[in-house]
């Protein structure tokens, strides 16, 4: 029996970066962009608000680019403050590296098991798909999806009753499958 689970983002993740005005290290992406043109050059920033003091930080998206080299649909999305573009840019490794930020997906996702309630089958195959590259510990997903404790999932792995082609320790952000034997 093959079950399909999906890890779905519920909101934008928090941006981990030090605030210059207070001791907080978390920012919430506002979903708004600032675009500035100077003759033929354009700059664009994603605005984020500090969760502690509300101070605004600008995350660089475009820097001193020739206006003609920027796709018109990207410019339209920037001017329209497109929420989908905000999510895409936060997950873009180039933007994260340029701005020296990391993402906190703490409470920004949920696991959709499709109403699965642990049938009495001897062997259960589960395919886990990620709707967005959200780094999550597979042990946590399996524990939540199977209504088990994490310690029990670790015990099943150690006994060989829970197997996967990928390593189940650490974090994953890509699709994987596992088999649970009773």
**C-alpha to C-alpha distance for 158 and 23, rounded to whole angstroms:** 42
Task: Please state, in angstroms and as integers, the Cα–Cα distance from residue 179 to each residue in 68, 120, 138, following that order.
Answer: 52, 14, 13
Question: Which residues, at least 6 apart from 82, have a Cβ–Cβ distance to it below 8 Å?
Answer: none
State the pLDDT at residue 169: 86
Q: Is 40 exposed, middle or buried (0-12, 13-18, 19+ CB in 10 A)?
A: exposed
Residue 132: band (very low, low, confident or very high) from pLDDT cuts 50, 70, 90? confident
State the pLDDT at residue 3: 87
Decide if 2 contacts 126 (C-beta within 8 A).
yes
The pair of structure tokens assigned to 175 is 């699709």
pLDDT at 22 over 60: yes
Residue 115: band (very low, low, confident or very high) from pLDDT cuts 50, 70, 90? confident
What integer is the mean pLDDT of 65-94? 94
Decide if 150 contacts 135 (C-beta within 8 A).
no
Percent of the chain with pLDDT over 70: 96
pLDDT tens per residue across span 86-103: 999 998 999 999 999 999
Provide the whole-model pTM: 0.78
Place of tokens 């929420």: 83
Identify the helix (H) or strand (E) that includes residue 46: strand 41-50
Residue 124: band (very low, low, confident or very high) from pLDDT cuts 50, 70, 90? confident
State the pLDDT at residue 175: 93
């Amino acid at each position: 029996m093959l079950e399909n689970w999906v890890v779905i983002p519920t909101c934008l993740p928090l941006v981990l970066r030090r605030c210059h005005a207070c001791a907080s290290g978390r920012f919430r992406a506002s979903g708004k962009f600032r675009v500035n043109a100077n003759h033929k050059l354009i700059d664009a920033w994603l605005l984020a608000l500090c969760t502690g003091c509300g101070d605004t930080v600008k995350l660089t998206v475009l820097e001193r680019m020739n206006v003609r080299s920027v796709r018109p649909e990207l410019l339209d999305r920037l001017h329209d403050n497109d929420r989908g573009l905000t999510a895409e840019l936060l997950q873009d490794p180039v933007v994260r590296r340029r701005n020296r930020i990391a993402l906190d997906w703490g409470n920004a996702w949920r696991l959709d098991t499709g109403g699965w309630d642990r049938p009495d089958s001897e062997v259960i195959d589960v395919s886990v798909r990620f709707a967005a590259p959200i780094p999550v510990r597979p042990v946590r997903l399996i524990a939540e999806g199977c209504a088990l404790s994490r310690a029990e999932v670790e015990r099943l792995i150690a006994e060989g009753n829970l197997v996967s082609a990928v390593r189940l320790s650490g974090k994953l952000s890509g699709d994987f499958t596992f088999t649970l034997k009773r």
